[in-house]
């Protein structure tokens, strides 16, 4: 994982930080500002919600990539919106983050 200081305020998300190999090719590093990271977290949360909210068994594809993203929160100074659930052994969004995006979901459902 690259440091934010070495990238002029950017930090990198590397798939290799979560897994040692990528099943479909060489992993890439994505450089984002902290604001871009937070926006990406919102997009991924909403996409995962849309794909999995109604399922009894969530689609692993969506949950796995969300775990990759959430695991990098501290590098982007986003610890305030992510927690690690020791029981589930998984990263989770904070209640405040979910409530904020719940408003977006409600707006979608109304329209």
Per-residue pLDDT of the chain (111 residues), as tens digits, is: 444 444 455 566 654 444 455 566 677 788 899 999 999 999 999 999 999 989 999 999 999 999 999 999 999 999 999 999 999 999 999 999 999 998 888 887 876
Q: Are strands 11-14 and 82-85 parallel, antiparallel or unpaired?
A: unpaired
pLDDT at 10: 59
Q: What is the 3-state secondary structure (H, E, C) of 11-60?
A: EEEEHHHCCCCCCCCCCCEEEECHHHHHHHHHHHHHHHHHHHCCCCCCCH
pLDDT at 20: 52
Q: How far is CA 79 from CA 29, 44, 60, 87, in A?
A: 21, 17, 24, 19
pLDDT at 38: 96
pLDDT at 110: 78
In whole angstroms, give the CA distance from residue 34 to residue 4: 9
């Amino acid at each position: 994982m690259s440091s934010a200081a070495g990238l002029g305020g950017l930090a990198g998300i590397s798939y290799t930080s979560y897994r040692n190999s990528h099943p479909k090719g060489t992993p890439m590093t994505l450089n984002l500002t902290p604001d871009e990271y937070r926006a990406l977290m919102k997009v991924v949360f909403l996409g995962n919600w849309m794909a999995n909210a109604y399922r009894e068994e969530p689609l692993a594809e969506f949950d796995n990539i969300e775990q990759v993203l959430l695991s990098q929160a501290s590098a982007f100074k986003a610890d305030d919106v992510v927690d690690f659930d020791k029981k589930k052994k998984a990263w989770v969004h904070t209640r405040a983050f979910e409530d904020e995006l719940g408003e977006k979901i409600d707006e979608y459902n109304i329209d």
